[in-house]
Amino acid sequence: MTTLSQDELKTLVGQAALKYVVPGEIVGVGTGSTVNKFLDALASIKDQIKGAVSSSVASTERLRALGIRVFDANDVAELAVYIDGADEIDHQGHMIKGGGAALTREKIVAAQSRQFVCIADDSKLVQTLGKFPLPVEVIPMAAHRVIRQFATMGGQAQLRLKNNAPLVTDNGQVLLDVTGLQISDPLAFEAEVNQWPGVVTVGVFAFQKAQICLLGTADGVKTLTF
């Protein structure tokens, strides 16, 4: 048996996600290297869809380069499906997202969609969320207070840097990455952290969890339903 690379697994799940795209409709798209594989596949059926709602500047640029029309989220109502990757996904479909810094817009488009189809290689499947550093988008003036608040629950939060300066998100805010957490109750965790002053979005997706995960494995694409 030939072992597939992580990149090949991403290609497989990106292509498999095409089956969930509803002809004649607008599709919600996430951000990241796995989604980029999906977008390449989506280009092959671009004449069969109206276009996409995008979750980041990066995905918008890629969609436009592929000749796929991008709609503003405010100009469309409910979407049939949202397709996105994850940094971790558990066996109930809860995820950690935001490794690519796009968590806030990802959560907005996911909330606008009837179904979340997660595409991931099998290294992302975990028993308990928290090994991957949890991204949290915050308003800059709250960053140090939120870092201290995570410390009270055993988390070590660090400001994400890019080129030696704080990374600025598509929304003009900053990101914390938090290690040392074991998120055993994702719904309660998301609800709590979301209400801390200055937190824009926490990268736990429990309220906007996946209904389906297309998981790339050595044996091909496995479909998990939650």
Residue with tokens 């969320």: 129
Q: How far apart are CA 18 and CA 15, in angstroms?
A: 6
Contact between 38 and 62 under an 8 Å Cβ cutoff? The reply is no
> Is 78 annotated as catalytic?
no
- Which tokens belong to 163? 């080129």
Q: How far is the CB of 32 from ligand 5RP (least distance, A)?
A: 3
- Could you give the angle at the alpha carbon of 161 between the alpha carbons of 177 and 54, nearest 5°? 75
Residue whose C-alpha is closest to residue 173's, from 148, 204, 134, 143: 143
Nearer to ligand 5RP by Cβ, of 94 and 144: the residue is 94
| H or E element at residue 157 | strand 156-159
Nearer to ligand 5RP by Cβ, of 27 and 86: the residue is 86
Contact between 14 and 226 under an 8 Å Cβ cutoff? The reply is no
Nearer to ligand 5RP by Cβ, of 6 and 182: the residue is 6
Q: How far is the CB of 205 from ligand 5RP (least distance, A)?
A: 9
- Residue numbers of the site for ligand 5RP (CB under 6 A)? 30-34, 84-87, 97-103, 106
Nearer to ligand 5RP by Cβ, of 34 and 60: the residue is 34
Q: What is the DSSP string of 113-142?
A: EEEEEEEEEGGGB-SSB-SSPEEEEE-GGG
Set 106, 137, 190, 192: catalytic member:
106
Which residues are designated catalytic? Answer: 106
